[in-house]
Amino acid sequence: MLITVNGEKKETPEGLTISGLLQFLKVQSERVAVELNLDIVKKDRYSTTPVKEGDSVEIVSFMAGGRD
């Protein structure tokens, strides 16, 4: 199926959940926030939230850092 991930069209397998998509993309779910069609998805719903044809997904990674 064709979806948009961070503004880029991607072909992915059908029937994925958010968790499955993150695994497919090799992204660690503990270190990201996910938005599906402009709605933030809570981490406890990643395994039950389906991704469908034409969906838009934004994946934001957390970066560690500090001030000098």
Residues with Cβ within 8 Å of 4's Cβ and at least 6 positions away in sequence, in order, are 10, 55, 56, 57
pLDDT digits (tens, 9 = 90+) for 39-54: 999 999 999 999 999 9
Identify the CA nearest to 36 among candidates 14, 64, 17, 10.
Answer: 17
Over residues 6-18, the mean pLDDT reads: 97
Question: For residues 12 and 3, is the Cβ–Cβ distance under 8 A?
Answer: yes
Q: What is the pTM of this model?
A: 0.88
In the chain, domain spans: 2-61
pLDDT digits (tens, 9 = 90+) for 19-39: 999 999 999 888 899 999 999
- What is the CATH architecture of 2-61? Roll (3.10)
